[in-house]
Amino acid sequence: MDAVPAIADPFDPTDAEIRAWAHSGAAEPVQDWDLMMAEPSHLPVLLELVADPDCPSRGRRTALSALYCMVGHTQPRDQFLQAARTAEHSADAWAATWARRVLEVIEHPESFSRPDWCGWPGFADRPTG
């Protein structure tokens, strides 16, 4: 197994640390790592990683889980609208599906189901469809 890259504070990682970890192939540095990354400030880097075919599967899946958790904990707000509008045109099916789901729940807030966004199995377990 690959070594975990240096992360100064795994409970408050930087975008550079998240990116380095995702590309390392290493195990999660702490339990619930996806929750540590699930902050709106990390939205751009998480979308970048999910759509990056060169990112190892573990990194992509964990970034995707963080994206879904982020929406599930904060519920869709305007901060997600621009990211979803960009990601809906992604060539990556995982990113495009996330965007479609975000836009749907923004348009129909009554359809929001926290277990779909934060649960397992949930949307992160069904990255397309």
Find tokens 């469809």 and name the residue. Answer: 129
The SS3 call for residue 25 is: coil
Q: How far apart are the first and last CA of the chain?
A: 32
Which pLDDT belongs to residue 1? Answer: 56
How far are the Cα atoms of 9, 59, 72 from residue 28, in angstroms, in the given order?
A: 13, 9, 21
Ranges of each domain in the chain? 15-125
Cis bond upstream, residue 109 (ω within 30): no
Question: What pTM does this model have?
Answer: 0.92
pLDDT truncated to tens, each residue of the chain (129 aa)? 567 788 999 999 999 999 999 999 999 999 999 999 999 999 999 999 999 999 999 999 999 999 999 998 887 677 889 999 999 999 999 999 999 999 999 999 999 999 999 988 899 999 997
Q: Which two tokens stand for residue 22?
A: 């995702």
The SS3 call for residue 26 is: coil
